[in-house]
Structure 1
Amino acid sequence: MQQLLLDVFTPPRPSLVNFIVGQNAPVVHELQALVRGASASPFILLYGSAGCGKTHLLKSMASLLGAPVLAGQTRFVFKPGDQALIIDNLEALTPYSQVQLFNAFNSALADRLPPAIVLASEHHPAELPVRDDLRTRIQAGLCLRVHPLSDDEKHHALQSVAKSRGLELSPEVVDYALRYFQRDMGSLMAVIDSLDRFSLEQHKPVSVNLLRHWMKRRESLVVREQ
């Protein structure tokens, strides 16, 4: 049941500003440069393990570049007039979509349209399960690894964000959240947002006992909604 609790949260809208950087300062720098038109390449591949923040970064770029995030398994047709092409789960591209992406690269090289192509995959660039000519195009751009946050970095990030809101989080509360909730930062931030509101409602400081009380209330809401 605890796994269902996060279904009722509304995490903050992803942006480069609220992305928890950790070891990924070079990645954020290159994405910001791409938005300004100052990147070393208009083609960027983000790769790394699940939950490390790739989708957050893609959604941030989608807002900045005015283009949707396409799922790798979704069939798409390349249109030369598109302002940007943003694709998540690159490893799931169908053969047809691989051809479309290859055409997009060729168009960008010849006509500078689209001016930006941003992709994400769990696979290292050399191990992408795509056709060879497409892999060559991708590897010619910037291939940036996105590093997951360590537990210490998550501790620090959660406590820093909470402190900026006037909310005190003890190490025990953060440990409890890391133990019982999804460990990606978007989900953890949603937990902190809701816990902050619950603390104000109850007129009690945040503690492990308050967190347990809040979890029981959310669980009962999910049960009733089912």
Structure 2
Amino acid sequence: MKKLTILSGAGISAESGIQTFRDSNGLWENHSVTEVASPQGWRNNRELVLEFYNQRRRQLHEVEPNDAHKLLAELEKYYEVQIITQNIDDLHEKAGSSKVLHLHGELFKSCSCNNKNLIYEQKEDIKIGDKAADGAQLRPFIVWFGEDVPLMKEAARHAKEADIFLVIGTSLQVYPAAGLLQDIKDTCLLIVINPDDSMGYGKRAVVMKETATTGMKILFDKLVNMA
């Protein structure tokens, strides 16, 4: 069975109604990204950071996977599928995908702010005073700007093993995830589904300037025939 590795980004979740990480002005309710998604922001104002992620967690309860998520899950019948996602939602899992690597963390999890290995399921708000077993304040289980991405080595391995590498819903502007294209082997077929073609994916890429759902509906049968 061929290996299909998928790198997904905000574009696929946006079609389910998930708000993109930032507005077009780069702010969240007049706060910069560093204020709500960085270790410095956490040190300066924990209540603000918690409310930012609490709002996103509440929203996640209200959305469902779209056709792109569901078609990717369906491909497990034909391929060894590994999803690498930059998204912190659980829509891939809800759609039925069984192997999902979350590079930037998971919204429905929390951890100790002193020990990221103390991880908990977190479906409701995190409040000041909510503590982990070590007595430290709980924080979102998210990789913030300026923090290491611990799963990159595993993601790179999946990229190297891929017979087909599918990029969907991301313009590859966030590193180190964008560097995964450098890990795929010469014989790997690279397919990109993204309406914004401002990024250079290289001459070898098959680029589909479509939204995630439209692109997957076009591509699905072709991928099945290639399996």
TM normalised by structure 2 equals 0.30
Per the normalisation by structure 1, the TM-score is 0.30
**Higher fraction of helix:** 1
Higher strand share: 2
